[in-house]
Amino acid sequence: MYNSTFLLILPALILSLYAQYKISSAYRKYSAVRNKKGYTGADVARQLLLSSGINDVSVEPIHGRLTDHYDPRTKVLRLSEGVFNSPSLAAIGIAAHETGHAIQHNIGYGPLGLRNGLVPLANIGSRMAVPLIIIGLFMASGSGSFGMMLVDLGIILYTVAVAFTLITLPVEFNASGRAIALLSEYHFLTPDEITPAKKVLNAAALTYIAAALSAVLTLLRFILIASGRRD
pLDDT per residue as tens digits for the range 42-82: 999 999 999 999 999 999 999 998 899 999 999 999 999 89
Q: Which residues of 22-47 are buried (b: 16+ CB within 10 A; e: fewer)?
A: bbeebbebbbeebbeeebbbbbbbbb
Instruction: Let me know: does 80 contact 65? Beta carbons within 8 Å.
Output: yes
**Domain range annotation of the chain:** 2-230
Phi, psi angle pair for 35, to nearest 5°: -75, 150
| Residue 197 neighbours by CB under 8 Å, 6+ apart | 30, 89, 90, 92, 93, 96, 179, 180, 183, 189
pLDDT at 1 over 60: no
pLDDT score for 15:
94
Active site residue 193: no
Given 60, 98, 185, 193, which residue is catalytic? 98
Chain segment 159-169, per-residue pLDDT in tens: 999 999 999 99
Give CA–CA dist 124/130, Å, rounded.
11
DSSP helix/strand/coil, 144:
coil
Chain segment 88-125, per-residue pLDDT in tens: 999 999 999 999 999 999 999 999 999 999 999 999 99
Chain segment 175-209, per-residue pLDDT in tens: 999 999 999 999 999 999 999 999 999 999 999 99
Find the mean pLDDT for residues 122-140.
91
